[in-house]
Amino acid sequence: MTPRVCLQYSITYALCPKFVKSSSSGRHLSVSVSSNTQKNFPSPVQKRKMDTMHGFLVPTYTLHDFDDGEECKVVRMIFQMSGVPYEFKHVHRDDYILEDYPFYALPALDMNDRKYGSVLSICRHLAWRYNLSGKTAYDDAQVDDIAEKVFEVRMKIKNWIDHIEHAADHACDEDCTENTAARLLTDTLFPCLERVLKAAPSSWLVGHTMTWVDLLVACLVNPVIYHRPKLLQDFPLLYLHNEKVAHHDDLVGFLYHVRTRKFQDKK
């Protein structure tokens, strides 16, 4: 009598994880298939490992932030670019309990019932999963370098951004000073980003494809272009970069529309 042949599926992560970057669906695990004449059922330990890895590969996400959601916009853009479903949980400022969130701050990301804080850390992790990080270790380091500086400036001029965006409802303080914020952008950050774009091999900040730092920069620059366009008059590459991100098919509705603008070459 011919023995019955069963297929045994051997998932690589059980012995040696092999992560591969895909162009569209992020990182995945390779799976090998072999034939065996014996029935093979996973042991309880193996099943737990498989369940854990499945949770790692197919997580559920809940993003927590205040009603305006400005600080987490870049995270939502990453989800949108990657086609990843998530739930957005609005947090009312009157009901905000610091101890409920990592580092007592928002936004925070629930990933399989574990909370993660810090915008940059969340972006790095999601970008790693969904192919929006640098293609090489050097590129990734450059992405982090730019992101740290941009976010640092974003936090310094946060009140000014809120002021120009929501002047009628915004309670101004000493951090809303126009001159201070404008100088920080035009004397420090914008010249640095313009030099990066001039040296870049493409119209993206790092490498030949969009990375999450392009989204982060766009979130900062876009309201400035809309409300204070003259601040970008000496930075044509940065203006065109924002136009490209704002007009991206997958990001419609996230940023202000950027009008096409011609810049004269300076002699």
Count of domains observed in the chain: 2
Q: Strand, helix or coil at 208?
A: coil
Which among 130, 155, 186 is the end of a domain? Answer: 130
Domain span at residue 93? 57-130
The mean per-residue pLDDT over the stretch 149-156 comes to 95
Which among 110, 130, 150 is the end of a domain? Answer: 130
* Confidence at residue 239, expressed as pLDDT on a 0 to 100 scale: 97
199 and 98 share one domain: no
pLDDT at 228 over 80: yes
159 and 224 share one domain: yes
Q: How many CB atoms lie within 10 A of CB 228?
A: 16
231 and 159 share one domain: yes
Query: Is 123 in contact with 151 (CB distance < 8 Å)?
Result: no
102 and 149 share one domain: no
Q: What is the pLDDT of residues 177-196, one digit of tens each?
A: 788 999 999 999 999 999 99
Query: Is 93 in contact with 86 (CB distance < 8 Å)?
Result: no
74 and 165 share one domain: no
Task: Say how far apart CA 206 and CA 201 lie, in whole Å.
Answer: 8
- Residue 65 placed within a domain: yes
Strand (E) or helix (H) holding 34? strand 31-36
The mean per-residue pLDDT over the stretch 59-86 comes to 92
Task: Say how far apart CA 118 and CA 102 lie, in whole Å.
Answer: 8
* Confidence at residue 217, expressed as pLDDT on a 0 to 100 scale: 98
pLDDT at 248 over 70: yes
pLDDT at 36 over 60: no
Region of poorest pLDDT, from 4-18, 55-69, 233-247: 4-18
165 and 180 share one domain: yes
Q: What is the pLDDT of residues 100-123, one digit of tens each?
A: 888 778 899 999 988 898 999 999
* Confidence at residue 260, expressed as pLDDT on a 0 to 100 scale: 85
* Confidence at residue 19, expressed as pLDDT on a 0 to 100 scale: 43
* Confidence at residue 34, expressed as pLDDT on a 0 to 100 scale: 44
Share of the chain above pLDDT 70, in %: 73
Most confident residue range from 41-50, 155-164, 194-203: 194-203
Band of pLDDT at residue 135, cut at 50, 70 and 90: very high
What mean pLDDT value characterizes the chain? Answer: 81
pLDDT at 37 over 70: no
- Residue 208 placed within a domain: yes
* Confidence at residue 241, expressed as pLDDT on a 0 to 100 scale: 98
188 and 230 share one domain: yes
